[in-house]
Structure 1
Amino acid sequence: MNQKSLTKIRKAQRKVSGIENIYYFRSVESVRQVLLHARNGLNDVEYLKSVMDGIEALKKN
């Protein structure tokens, strides 16, 4: 993925989420606790629908 594509994706994320600063981590270990929480606490149909809705919103921008 080139820099122009990343810039476009990140701009859409800021617009849709309303969050100005979005941080990206290169190491899975740096976000291990967050990933475990997501797997254990946010792994249901309702949350999955919310994620899919967010993805669709990003595609529109």
Structure 2
Amino acid sequence: MASTVSRDWGARFPSLLVPRGVASKLHTAVCSGKVTLAAAQQAIVSDWTTALTRLGLS
């Protein structure tokens, strides 16, 4: 049931799913101290498609 709900949610809101590559780069940047967790989260919420560029990570 949970996996079905997850798939359905993703199908209805595809723009809210952050691609693995973007999430991975943000994770690495946060863990290495290049950006704060709050900044990474805000970048995703604002527009994940420009998150890396706005944070200087692309």
Q: Smaller-chain TM-score range?
A: 0.3 to 0.5
The TM-score normalised by the length of structure 1 is 0.33
Higher relative contact order structure (alpha carbons within 8 Å, sequence separation ≥ 6):
1
The TM-score normalised by the length of structure 2 is 0.34
Q: Which has the larger radius of gyration?
A: 1
